Amino acid sequence: MRVEENVEHSAMPIPQQRSRSPRGPPMSQISGVKRPLSHTNSFTGERLPTYGVETPHEAALGQHLAELDTWGIDIFKIGDLSKNRPLTCVAYTIFQSRELLTSLMIPPKNFLNFMTTLEDHYVKDNPFHNSLHAADVTQSTNVLLNTPALEGVFTPLEVGGALFAACIHDVDHPGLTNQFLVNSSSELALMYNDESVLENHHLAVAFKLLQNQGCDIFCNMQKKQRQTLRKMVIDIVLSTDMSKHMSLLADLKTMVETKKVAGSGVLLLDNYTDRIQVLENLVHCADLSNPTKPLSLYKRWVGLLMEEFFLQGDKERESGMDISPMCDRHNATIEKSQVGFIDYIVHPLWETWADLVHPDAQDILDTLEENRDYYQSMIPPSPPPSATEEQTTGADDKIRFQVTLEESDQENLAELEEGDETAGERGDDNMTTTVESKPSGSQNQSHNVGM
């Protein structure tokens, strides 16, 4: 290079570096885990709280926790008496009563450290998806595990895995649906490639929390046991994604048709596929159990769920997004949506479960049908349309709710609807389902009618 060229080159202005806006946390960091905690996360005394929580209402709380094996207990009262620690006291009492702390070699202090940390990572401001919902699902899972048809079927590791999955299944839920997270290109949707976004996040947060000091409740397990439990928990929590509902139900129907039962009426499940399938459906039933509870509790849950949906709808409206089904507080038809939800989602699931464990779930099914009839009776009568309106609106008067399925589930839905005479028996010929399909590989658009 000649000297002149070198001088000219060195005199060229150096491009200014662009100022960079501060980045968020690295994608490898699980969001939600670093939230400040409201407790000391340490039980250092010799005596642990009797029910896992410090409360001035210990005696009254104990009376309610004594009913944890009963379907339809007032979980809201337990929340009040436990000073908003329902998940910790429910899980601690169940694991103790089932002697799982002993059989799985779980240190009680570790268990309480983990549960209080887990409960702190449920979003208290969510009307529905908070630790009270997790406690309700955990308690419902406990009752379903007690069904006589499953007596002695599952090992302590499997029972503990199902209960653990119920405890963690909605941790750090943002109060928004998978569909919203995908549509808004949220960090979580990017992290999990739009696939079971929330369910993957719940699992990641929970297993990350186990790494906190004094929180590893499985520290005494052998490596193979830990691996087995982790696989079970992942399978169960991923099955709570409502986009998996139809395929899960179709597989359960197949199991009912081919089930092997011992002379005592106990199910014979001799391989992992069958065993995990029952546990997946069991926790899924517990997650969708609000309509099967006493009407006063069911109505309260509906109000909380709708408020959470409306808050999402408000966000969608403010952002100029399409408002998701059932999320428009100015246009919602709560009674119709609950009837549709029961007829097309909840009743087929619980009816099939009742067939599997017959006759153990008949009372639950009866309550579900009574609650359905209540909401049907609350639908205000529509004024008779004119002949012209009948021709132009027709199907618009039908009850609609949106269920987003994997592409492979469309055939399952058709088969289920063909074989399900529930709506016809009840004379509900004005019920329809709006179903969205999508290319395989982009599943996990969660519909808005699940609980």
User: What are 140-180's pLDDT values in tens digits?
Assistant: 999 999 999 999 999 999 999 999 999 999 999 999 999 99
- Any domain includes 78: yes
Q: Which domain holds residue 98?
A: 58-290
- Any domain includes 63: yes
Residue with token string 């308690």: 139
Separation of alpha carbons 115 and 209, rounded Å: 10
The pLDDT value given to residue 409: 57
Q: Which of 9, 64, 121, 129 is catalytic?
A: 129
Per-residue pLDDT tens for 372-416? 999 999 998 877 776 555 555 444 444 445 555 555 555 555 554
The pLDDT value given to residue 432: 34
**What are the average pLDDT values for consecutive 10-residue runs of the chain, which has 451 residues?**
49 54 59 57 71 98 99 99 98 99 98 98 98 99 98 97 99 98 98 98 98 98 98 99 98 92 84 97 99 99 98 98 96 96 99 97 99 97 67 49 54 51 36 37 44 54
The pLDDT value given to residue 435: 40
Contacts with 336 (C-beta within 8 Å, 6 or more apart), sequence order: 379, 399
- Any domain includes 212: yes
CATH number, domain of 272, equals: 1.10.1300.10
The question of whether 129 is a catalytic residue gets the answer yes
CA angle 302, 303, 308 (to 5 degrees): 95
Q: Which residues are annotated as a binding site for AMP?
A: 129-133, 170, 287, 338
- Any domain includes 257: yes
- Any domain includes 21: no
The pLDDT value given to residue 265: 81
Half-sphere CA count of 11, side-chain side, radius 13 A: 6
Strand partners, 402: 434
- Any domain includes 313: no
Q: What is the pTM of this model?
A: 0.83
Q: Which residues are annotated as a binding site for Zn(2+)?
A: 133, 169-170, 287
Domain count, the chain: 1
